[in-house]
Structure 1
Amino acid sequence: MEELLKTLNNIRSLRLLAKEIPLEQLETIFKKFELVVQERKEEEEAQQLVLAAHQEKIEKYKELLKSEGISPEELLEVMNLHRFNPSQHKKRAPRPAKYKYTDLDGSQKTWTGQGRTPKAIQIQLDKGATLESFEI
């Protein structure tokens, strides 16, 4: 693709390529290329019209707010009330411990049952103990 763009963008390469292609085929390619360029222009114009209409609506609503005495800050405040606000989000309470065990250092520890099994419990489980024997 990049090589094709280099060829199409260089007049010398185009002239060299044009010498190798019959004139009828070159004219067909030219017509197709013109059609593609025209379609692209129409798409760009349509997109510009949509953007202009959108901007016009924004200006219309700005004027309407101004005439009604509503400030943009007030409107934003009302709009933000309905959005998710992380600072107002309540964190869930930590899970209570389900299991109690003595770790390898000899100190008492607890485990919620979530995540990876603590090494001290896993060693005991491998020896044949049951998880229920560690329940609080």
Structure 2
Amino acid sequence: MSKNLSSLNNIRTLRAASRDLPLNELEELRQKFETVVNERREEERAREAEAREKAEKLAFYQELLLEEGINPSELVNSASAAVAGKKKRAKRPAKYRYSDENGQVRYWTGQGRTPSAIKTAIENGQSLDDFLL
């Protein structure tokens, strides 16, 4: 709580401060506080109404599922299984074959950075098609 609000929360501080204010200003402050409090009450009522409505909907759908012979936990488990069943992409097949600096035969899918051996060969006049499988 801020310093100003904590001083408003202390009755002694309020009494001391109110001695220096005329009554009409105190009445104006009271009206402003009432407005703020009423706004907060309305917000709380709206939140409570939304929570009640959501609970009613959940109960309705749960009852509907049970009437159809479906256990709600089965529904949750089937949804999580579908999300958890994400598969990895299959490894791409190689498109090119080349020999590296050590003379070993290597393969390249054609994606990603071009191997230095192929890059050097292309700079020396060879074509990428020369390395096709």
Task: Return the TM-score normalized by structure 2.
Answer: 0.64
Q: State how 1:1-16 maps to structure 2 within 5 Å.
A: 5-10=2-7
Within 2, Cα distance between the matches of 1:97 and 1:16? 85
Contact 2:98 2:105 in 1 (8 A): yes
- Between the aligned residues of both structures, percent identity stands at 42
Q: CA deviation at 1:107?
A: 0.3
Q: Which residue matches 1:54? A: 54
Matched, 1:135 2:119: no
* Equivalences, count: 130
Q: Which runs of 4+ in 1 moved over 6 A?
A: 11-26
Distance across 1 between alignment mates of 2:68 and 2:130: 70
Q: How does 1:7-86 map to 2 (within 5 A)?
A: 7-10=4-7, 28=28, 30-66=30-66, 68=67, 70-73=69-72, 76=75, 80=79, 85-86=82-83
Unaligned runs of 5+ in 2: none
Q: SS at 2:97's partner residue?
A: strand
Bigger mean CA deviation after superposition, 116-125 or 19-28: 19-28
Can you give the 5+ residue segments of structure 1 that lack an aligned partner in the other structure?
none
**Post-superposition offset of 1:117:** 1.2
Q: Name the TM-score, length of structure 1 as normaliser.
A: 0.63
